[in-house]
């Protein structure tokens, strides 16, 4: 009887050791995925910061050109709208690059193809991508 109890106890211990090993593997996998996700988020944030910095420079150049009389108010409005569209599209491209692990050209191609397929302007599509990315899960 003692041998049977000892064997049963050893079997339970072996099962628990197996479960702990499996759980440890799952935890390691999840930790790796979380680390990769954080790295992608950091890279996206750096790209967004870079886009914002370039946009500030673009606004300064536009202001200087307008002050020098090279650009009319209408041209300034058009350029500012184009810059906003460019930043929105650039942010969506960065998000696609990060989440899909693709390059800039491929991400832009994905947006263009989807825009054509859905008959939506790229800026509107990019705004949708950004909104979905920012939505809590």
Tens of pLDDT, residues 5-38:
777 788 888 888 888 888 788 888 888 877 877 7
Q: Whole-structure pTM over 0.85, yes or no?
A: no
Buried b (16+ CB within 10 A) or exposed e, 118-130: eeeebbebbbebb
pLDDT per residue over 101-136, tens digit each?
Answer: 899 999 999 999 999 999 999 999 999 988 888 777
Q: In angstroms, rounded to a whole number, what is the distance separating the alpha carbons of residues 62 and 86?
A: 15
């Amino acid at each position: 009887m003692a041998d049977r109890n000892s064997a049963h106890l050893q079997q339970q211990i072996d099962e628990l050791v197996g479960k702990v090993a499996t759980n440890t593997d799952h935890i390691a996998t999840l930790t790796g995925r979380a680390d990769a996700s954080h790295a992608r988020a950091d890279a996206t944030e750096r790209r967004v910061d870079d886009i914002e910095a370039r946009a500030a420079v673009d606004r300064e150049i536009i202001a200087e050109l307008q002050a020098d009389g090279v650009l009319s108010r209408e041209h300034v409005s058009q350029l500012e709208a184009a810059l906003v569209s460019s930043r929105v599209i650039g942010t969506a491209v960065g998000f696609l690059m990060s989440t899909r692990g693709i390059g800039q050209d491929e991400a832009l191609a994905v947006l263009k193809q989807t825009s054509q397929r859905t008959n939506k302007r790229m800026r509107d599509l990019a705004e949708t991508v950004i909104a979905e990315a920012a939505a809590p899960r």
